[in-house]
Structure 1
Amino acid sequence: MNNPGRELSLLVVEDNVFQRKVLMHQLRALGYPMPLAAGDGEAALALCNQHPVDILLCDLRMPGMDGMALLRRLSLNGFRGGIILVSALDEDVVEAVHRMSDAYGLRVLGRLDKPSSPARLAELLARWAPDTRPPLAGSGPHIGVADLTKALAQGEIMPWYQPKVSFATGEWLGVEALSRWLHPTLGMIPPGRFIPLAEEQGLITLLTERLIEQCLQDKAHWQTSGLAIKLSLNISSSSLVEGKLCDRLLEQCRQKGINPNLITLEVTESAFVKDLGHSLEMLSRLRMHGFGLSIDDFGTGYSSMQQLSLLPFTELKLDRSFVDRCHEDPVRLAIIESTLTLARKIGLRTVAEGVEDKATWDELARLGCDECQGYYAGRPMPQDQLLPWHEQWQARAPAR
């Protein structure tokens, strides 16, 4: 079989000699002529240290270092490849291992049952793509408050935009603004490395205000160019209850000729813990002036239902922890379906974040979710890449 992934480095970790030989034979038949093999976790770790491994096929039940211990060690070593869980264990056990792997920051491509099916194996291998995610928040050179203060003063932290599209039609509906630090010597610094620092050092409100100003400037430019898309902005808990966010937003929209109805403010559930009374005041005032309000990461906070009953939201955002691979997980699917039903009954639009493949897209479209946000549609990008992305999306968007 002529396979474009022929040069990928694959490693089979399986203690059963027969099962290991079967997998090796199937991989060669699929066009991967030189897969590596290990009979236990220790040998697999040694091979990963000696060779770059793109995809690791991992048995879970092995003597000595079992598959779960191996996955934890791979995570600690910064493994960036894809992982296929090979197991005859019950579905709930394998699913728990999958969630554990997600928590460790590993990329699981899916489950392969025993005995392995060549068709299923080919399907899982086809999911592999080079890992373009930013490094973990704790990695890289040390960044201090002085570096962050300087970056804010010099405009190094800029908004990038991730498209949001309609599940029903594929239409481009809007974007969410996400912060990116373009450091002059360190390059791209992901938000996981500087947002916590900004919150700890009391700089998050300043950072939020700078980003909002740039976003509204971009939004005004889009309007004059005839691009009628909505803009979603993230609001921190500190920004919500401190300063004069509402007044500044209104003044900037007025100056730039932007209708607040085209702006949605995304607020995480944790924002309400700090000062519920003030949060209610601020959010109600913003809604009164026409801004949309989205409850971000719905279902991950301490009292989701209470917040829906108290606050004037217009949108509910499904957290990626429920969305990811929902088509393979009946529990996640049930949570999503009930949440979408709830949202429809109380008149909220729904957005699914973390949609990364067509199978997830198809399932959420079938369930009637309104908007898609995720790598399947588009990654975060600088504003000057949005129009080229749109042309490409129109060419490949699922059939209407």
Structure 2
Amino acid sequence: MKILVVDDDDFTTRLLHIQLRAMGLRNSGYTGIELCARGEDALQRVGARAEGFGLVFCDLRMPGMDGVEFVRHLAESGFRGGLVLMSGAESRVLQAAEQLARSQGLRVLGTLSKPVQPDALRALLEAGAVDAVEPATASAQVAPASDATALEAAIASGDLFNLYQPKVELGSGEVVGVEAQARWRRPGGDIAMPADFLPLAEEAGLVGPLARLVLTNALRDARCWSGTGPELDVAVNLSMANLASLDLPERISRLAEAAGFPLERLVLELSETRLPTRPQDQLDIMTRLRLKGVRLAIDEFGTGFSNLAQLREMPFSELKIDRGVVRGAAKDPSRRAIVQAALVLARELDAHAVAEGLDDVDDLACVRGLGCHLGQGALVAGPMPASELAAWIRGWPARRDRLLLAA
């Protein structure tokens, strides 16, 4: 896996090259860092490299094909690595480009203002995308058609596994729940992230079996940390395609009953960017899930353009503010305003707000000061195996006290 820097400014590319090498990314498994001055040439390299690029840095202002055009073509090529956008333009332009790239399905790690500062670069890489800077956990860039068969076989054999990221109460630091995040160990050893295999599962009609496996694993794994303190909520991500079957509430009830897991502690997360336009069947399913005690969360809030009337109709109990909005909110007035608006909306919907991507002490203090009560992110803990969670919970109080003091 390689790193590709796309920028026509020779000084910037060479400086970034030096900074990345100094951070040891080449020693962590990347085979090299390549520099490219033109978007057209960069796209040819991305398409021609069999081993693929795991991380791309892209400037927005370039002659010929600008950064926005490059990002559009990059998404069309099926690129699955991490993307960092850079520019000397005003922050609102960077934010708009980031929003656009996310809406096109790209895994955007964040944005950097030029000239790029080493501390900002390190913070972005460490906080936002451990999986993107560690090739051992990076997935293949473009999934061949045969991957649908491989994914189906992996689901049938149970080869997918879950990692769990803790969610805490921001005032007290108390651990209140975990989010299950699926991973697929692909043939050859690469670990595929959800962004890599969920579109494949939807195209191949595998979202039902996939969701059943992830949920079954989560309900089973909950026994690993049971008894370590207060009983934790477990959140599982679903595609809107999972809400196509009217018997979904009954099937989830049976799975929870078999695992001995209370439905009142189960949270199902649905992405804001995939909410249906006329959700008659989905509303039926969601309402019956809520009647059974299951809670529903709007995931990645702030990455799409929500129909607020539609959101009011749906029985959501949690609103998760996307990491792309939370990250940098302490220093960026526009991001802070979006967080504040999301918190107001959550209160109006009588829903709990959760700040995702809490990777910086200043951002933690900011969202907590604005009235957000729950959060998760690398500052608290990254995703971990179920077998490690109990030990992490036991060691959390000491670290929690230092963190809350710093914030």
Bigger relative CO (Cα 8 Å, ≥ 6 apart): 2
Q: 1:379 aligns with which of 379, 382, 385?
A: 382
Q: 1:318 aligns with which of 317, 321, 326?
A: 321
Q: 1:296 aligns with which of 274, 296, 299?
A: 299
The letter for the 2-side match of 1:341 is V
Return 375-384 or 297-306, whichever deviates more.
297-306
CA distance in 1, matches of 2:246, 2:223: 24
The letter for the 1-side match of 2:261 is I
- Is contact 2:98–2:111 with CA below 8 Å preserved after alignment? no
Long gaps (5+) in structure 1: 1-9, 31-39, 50-54, 114-119
Q: Give the equivalent residue in structure 2 for 1:216.
A: 219
The letter for the 1-side match of 2:334 is V
Secondary structure at the counterpart of residue 328 of structure 1: coil
Q: Give the equivalent residue in structure 1 for 2:160.
A: 157
TM-score, structure 2 length as denominator?
0.72
How many residues were matched structurally? 368
Return 244-253 or 161-170, whichever deviates more.
244-253
Residue identity over aligned pairs, in percent, reads 30
Secondary structure at the counterpart of residue 178 of structure 1: strand
Going from structure 1 to structure 2, the CA distance change for 1:230 and 1:67 (only over 3 Å counts) comes to same
Q: Give the equivalent residue in structure 2 for 1:334.
A: 337
Measured after TM superposition, the shift of residue 356 of structure 1 is: 2.3
Q: Give the equivalent residue in structure 2 for 1:262.
A: 265
Secondary structure at the counterpart of residue 298 of structure 2: strand
Q: CA RMSD in A?
A: 4.5
Q: 1:124 aligns with which of 111, 120, 124?
A: 120
Secondary structure at the counterpart of residue 381 of structure 1: coil
CA distance in 1, matches of 2:71, 2:277: 35
Secondary structure at the counterpart of residue 360 of structure 1: helix
Going from structure 1 to structure 2, the CA distance change for 1:56 and 1:204 (only over 3 Å counts) comes to closer
Could you report, residue by residue, the CA deviation over 1:171-191 in whole angstroms, capped at 9, with x for unpaired residues? 211111121112353331222
Going from structure 1 to structure 2, the CA distance change for 1:233 and 1:101 (only over 3 Å counts) comes to closer
- Is contact 2:184–2:193 with CA below 8 Å preserved after alignment? yes
User: Aligned runs of 1:359-378 on 2, under 5 Å?
Assistant: 359-378=362-381
Could you report, residue by residue, the CA deviation over 1:291-342 in whole angstroms, capped at 9, with x for unpaired residues? 1111222344454312332122211111233223222322221121022022
Q: Give the equivalent residue in structure 2 for 1:34.
A: none
Secondary structure at the counterpart of residue 315 of structure 2: coil
- Is contact 1:164–1:174 with CA below 8 Å preserved after alignment? yes
Measured after TM superposition, the shift of residue 141 of structure 1 is: 6.3
Q: Give the equivalent residue in structure 2 for 1:399.
A: 404
Q: Give the equivalent residue in structure 1 for 2:25.
A: none
Could you report, residue by residue, the CA deviation over 1:226-283 in whole angstroms, capped at 9, with x for unpaired residues? 5511101222223222162211222233333322211111123466527622212111
Measured after TM superposition, the shift of residue 198 of structure 1 is: 1.4
Going from structure 1 to structure 2, the CA distance change for 1:203 and 1:140 (only over 3 Å counts) comes to closer
TM-score, structure 1 length as denominator?
0.73
Could you report, residue by residue, the CA deviation over 1:183-209 in whole angstroms, capped at 9, with x for unpaired residues? 353331222232112111211111111
Long gaps (5+) in structure 2: 23-35, 47-54
Q: Give the equivalent residue in structure 2 for 1:201.
A: 204
Going from structure 1 to structure 2, the CA distance change for 1:142 and 1:240 (only over 3 Å counts) comes to closer
